[in-house]
Amino acid sequence: MASFSPSSGTPHSTTPSVEQYVEAIADLLTRDKVCSVSEIAEQVQVSRPAASRAVRELVEKDLVTHKAYGYVDLTDKGRSLADVLTARHEAVLAFLQNVLRYEPEWADQEACRLEHQIGDELAARLLALSRFFEEDPVLARRWRRTVAAIAKDPLRSGGEDEG
């Protein structure tokens, strides 16, 4: 699991949309070493003109480099943002799986959505809580029983531990 530092935070000028494009580009570059605007459009599930506009915005923010009809690459600033987003995703995912006990596939989908809505300090605290449960098996078992009771009867369970 990646370490997470709140001081590495993303600038507040980034929007969830900008973050989504940076993540998509980072993912494509990891897989294929190069990426085009068409591939970005496919990854983000938007039209090519929409992806082209987004890439121009990312160039203006110094997050990517791109020459007309050429490949898109992340700048150092873009790579740093992608690294922070990856760490934030992993922090949320660990919390959803290890603390709230959600199934991996659902947890990953929710982490993708939530990582753009929370700040770095909250992500760091979620990761710390997840690690806390990993390090204390007795408390983790008690918590699993509580979560199981809530799952069986979410409206009636107050989350009390019965054992």
Break the chain into its structural domains and give their ranges: 12-74, 85-152
CA dihedral 140, 141, 147, 151 (to 10 degrees): 150
Half-sphere exposure of 32 (CA within 13 A, CB side): 13
- Label residue 156 by pLDDT band (50, 70, 90): low
- Residues 135, 54: Cα–Cα separation, whole Å: 43
CATH topology of domain 85-152: Diphtheria Toxin Repressor; domain 2 (1.10.60)
- Residues 147, 44: Cα–Cα separation, whole Å: 34
pTM of the model: 0.79
- Residues 116, 80: Cα–Cα separation, whole Å: 15
pLDDT above 70 covers a percentage of the chain that reads 87
Summarize pLDDT for 62-75 with one digit per residue, the tens.
999 998 889 999 99
Largest separation between any pair of C-alpha atoms in the chain: 65
Token digits of residue 77: 């600033």
As its CATH architecture, domain 12-74 has Orthogonal Bundle (1.10)
- Label residue 158 by pLDDT band (50, 70, 90): low
